[in-house]
Amino acid sequence: MTVPAVGRPAPDFELVSGDGKKIRLSDFRGKKVVLYFYPRDMTPGCTEQACAFRDAWEEFKRLNAVVLGVSADSAESHAKFAAKHDLPFPLLSDPDHKVCEMYGVWKEKSMYGKTFMGIERSTFLIGEDGTLLREWRGVQVKGHIEETLAAVAEASGGGA
């Protein structure tokens, strides 16, 4: 499977959000989309990342951007995670990891000497016309939101 490339259309998809709604990437044409993939709800790094996106939410909105989080967790897990941390953006459930595979983030990982398949923390910036503008793979949480906001501001024709 070919992964998306910067300058090419981002693959469209439909997933269920934590509130049970079906959401398509193409629903957000006319806005920039920050699409981030994360390993698991309620884990320290994923919570830190989600809360950083939450804290920058107003700035993303000001720049005509939406944030969508994707993991393999269930919609019910997403609903609990979003409620616990007051997340204002949709968390999308990809239990069969089809969208994760589409974006090339479903990878072999290892921890404590064990190998397993999981989501590589990654973020994609998609333009208002659906074109992939930027990608970050193997994201480290610290400083990532600031870097993402700067890229969104740049895509908006201005500085952060």
93-122 pLDDT, tens per residue?
999 999 999 999 999 888 888 898 999 999
Distance CA 139, CA 30 (A): 26
What does the domain layout of the chain look like in residue ranges?
A: 14-155
> For 32-45, what is the mean pLDDT?
96
Confidence of residue 123 (pLDDT cuts 50, 70, 90): very high
CA dist 31 and 66 (Å) reads 7
In sequence order, which residues have a C-beta less than 8 Å from that of residue 48 and are 6 or more positions away? 141
Architecture of domain 14-155: 3-Layer(aba) Sandwich (3.40)
Provide the whole-model pTM.
Answer: 0.94
b vs e for 126-149, b when ≥16 Cβ sit within 10 Å of the residue's Cβ?
Answer: bbbebebbbbbeebebeebbeebb
Residue 159 has pLDDT above 70, yes or no: no
Hunting for tokens 């629903």 — which residue is that? 27
156 has a pLDDT exceeding 90? no
pLDDT of 129 > 50? The answer is: yes
Helix (H) / strand (E) containing 118: strand 114-119
Please tell me the predicted confidence (pLDDT) of residue 1: 57
Positions marked active-site? 46
Mean pLDDT of the chain: 94
Tens digits of per-residue pLDDT, 136-147?
999 999 999 999
